[in-house]
Amino acid sequence: MDRFNVGVKVVQNAGNLLRQCRLEEAEICQKTSHQDLVTLWDRRIEQLLRNEILTAFPRDAIVGEEYPSEAHRAESVTWYIDPIDGTTNFINQHQNYAISVGCWDGNKPLFGLVLDVERKALYWARHGGGAWQGQTPIHTSGRRELSDLLLTTPGLQYTFLEPHPYQERMIQLSRKVRGVRCLGSVALELCEVAAGRADLFVTMRSSPWDHNAARIILEEAGGAIFTVEGKPLPLNQKSTVLGLSSADLRDYILTV
Ligand code: 2AM
Ligand code: CA
């Protein structure tokens, strides 16, 4: 099996396990605060993903949320994995959370997989092969007027309420767009833009495992991704993120 097929199999196996699990209160821990949680299942699923990927491709590197990165190995291929993107949703809603697996060869995208676990919806893209939800091709929306656009952001407080250098710009943007939605998962929200159900995505904080799978899907769907300053999004660092249904919107959004 090639990397893509191994990735799909591993993500589906992990999704089947998560759908069946019943989370106990004692399995929830605080990482840095009561708003930054991790569960036993984040760790279990990351272990499962790591084991299955490394069994098939022992020379690949893995960058995941819950364990230290594997040192770079003989191959230049790196898998960016988030076992649960939207942990708070997983805990409180048992829906609107994803498994995210992005595979890159150096800085060249290979494929991205984002599984909306409870909806059993797999978003996927191979570089140069378009973007898909299951068997259906997906594409970003053609909306271009600011007043027609739907903005999605995973954390209302971080984007609009807490002070940061772009706060005033974000508040202005929220007044000019058609509406603001907040799902609580970077990967799923970028896929919402990829599928044309939202037009803009903004977050002040995202990690490589949050966005490195969905960014491939968004770009293959016709969209574009930058930092909120409109710069190229780094592959290996935490960053702000601006996701767009089209690269044409970049200058328009940056001057709001
Ligand atoms: P997580 O569920 O994997 O933690 C909403 O909280 C979104 O922001 C989720 O995608 C969440 O990922 C991500 N997120 C939460 N805390 C974060 C942090 N400190 N830095 C970057 N992303 C974070
Ligand atoms: Ca996570």
Instruction: Give the residue extent of every domain in the chain.
Output: 3-137, 146-254
Alpha-carbon separation of residue 225 from 14, 49, 188, 203, 230 (angstroms): 28, 26, 15, 12, 8
- At 87 the pLDDT is 97
Q: Record the tokens describing residue 159, joined without a space.
A: 């984007």
Distance (Å, whole) CA 201 – CA 199: 7
Give 225's strand partners.
Answer: 243
Instruction: For CA atoms 50, 56, 58, 62, give the dihedral sign.
Output: negative
pLDDT tens digits, residue range 171-199? 999 999 999 999 999 999 999 999 999 99
Q: Which CATH class is domain 146-254?
A: alpha beta
pLDDT at 195 (0 to 100):
98
Instruction: Note whether 3-137 and 146-254 share their fold.
Output: no
**Nearest Cα residue to atom 14 of ligand 1:** 206
Please give the CATH superfamily to which domain 3-137 belongs.
Fructose-1,6-Bisphosphatase, subunit A, domain 1 (3.30.540.10)
Angle ∠(23,29,32) on CA atoms, nearest 5: 145
pLDDT band at 74 (very low <50, low <70, confident <90, very high): low
Q: Is the CB of 154 inside a 6 Å radius of any atom of ligand 1?
A: yes
Record the pTM: 0.97
What number is the average pLDDT over the span 139-157? 96
User: What's the CA angle centered on 82, arms 76 and 87, to 5 degrees?
Assistant: 170
Is residue 218 within 8 Å of residue 190, measured between CB atoms? yes
Q: Is 182 in the pocket of ligand 1 (CB under 6 A)?
A: no
Give mean pLDDT, residues 148-156: 96
Q: What is the mean pLDDT of residues 227-253?
A: 96
